[in-house]
Amino acid sequence: MRASYIFLALVVACSASVPPQGTTLAHDLGRSYVGKAQCWAEPDGTGEYHIFNDNNPHLGGIGFDNTIESVRVTGVWMFYNEAEFSAHDPSYMCYVYGIDYFLNLPPQCRNMATSIRYACNPYELNGDCWAVYDLTYFRGESMFGTEDMPDLSYLSHETSSIILTGESSWTFCTETHYSGYCHCFTPDTYHEEQDTQVLDLAIFEELPQFSNRIKSVRKGCHSKSIISSSSHRLHHMHDGKGGYGILKMN
């Protein structure tokens, strides 16, 4: 699988009162995380907080369930109403992205998160990367990669949402080894700059024509069929350093 990495559901958290724990994997791999989310239990960056560098499928395990109200993020972070990166009708899934971007969460996202997950490559902020999810709205199983992958069988070919970071387009195909019907997805949704850091991002929270049909992904644009980011977000806010989206389950 070379430079493609399957998301590991690591619990990596530290708090004001507990020394950092669980960061050894990054060191073991000779890498360090660039993705970061500081999450507070109260608005305006007040109250108890935890700093996350990687996914946490059960915030209740650190006594931090249904309480996050403000965040400061680098990278793309997903906040789910339920454990294991899940959310069901009538609840919400929220994403926040940016570079050292502070946000008081909007009402639908406050005191809601039960699991959180980072999107794409946690070791490189704007590396060319694709992430696929087996459910819409970035729920369920996930994997990401930084190179071609001729067979997305890890997700049982059930990709239903996609996030891209970096500047490269990626071509997703309905058959393995880049055959079948292929469509070019471009990271053109948001572009953030902060000092010398850049974050390019594309959000495809649904794949109406291709859900559960994608079987391979190849770097670059190898199709005349260009897929634009969908516009089904209930609400989205964007400013110079980052932004957020609110997705209502249905």
Q: Which is nearer to Ca ion, 112 or 120 (CB)?
A: 112
- Of 178, 164, 76, 65, nearest in space to 112 by CA: 65
Restricted to residues 110-169, the positions that interact with Ca ion (CB under 5 A) are 111, 114
Residues shown for the chain: 250
Nearest to Ca ion of 41, 249 (CB atom): 41
What are the beta bridge partners of residue 133? 142, 161
Site string for Ca ion, 202-241 (x = CB under 5 A): ----------------------------------------
In 3D space, the residue among 217, 229, 214, 201 whose CA is nearest the CA of residue 101 turns out to be 201
Q: Residues 9, 14, 26, 41: which binds Ca ion (CB under 5 A)?
A: 41
- Contact flags string 66-85 toward Ca ion, x per CB under 5 A: xx-x-----------x----
Spatial neighbors of 47 by CB under 8 A, at least 6 apart, are 40, 41, 69
What is the nearest approach in angstroms of Ca ion to the Cβ of residue 144? Answer: 24
Minimum CB–partner distance for residue 184 and Ca ion (Å): 36
Asked if 209 and 199 touch (Cβ cutoff 8 Å), the reply is no
User: In the beta sheet, which residues pair with residue 95?
Assistant: 78, 245
Residue 243 token pair: 């932004």
Output the smallest distance, CB 38 to Ca ion, in A: 14
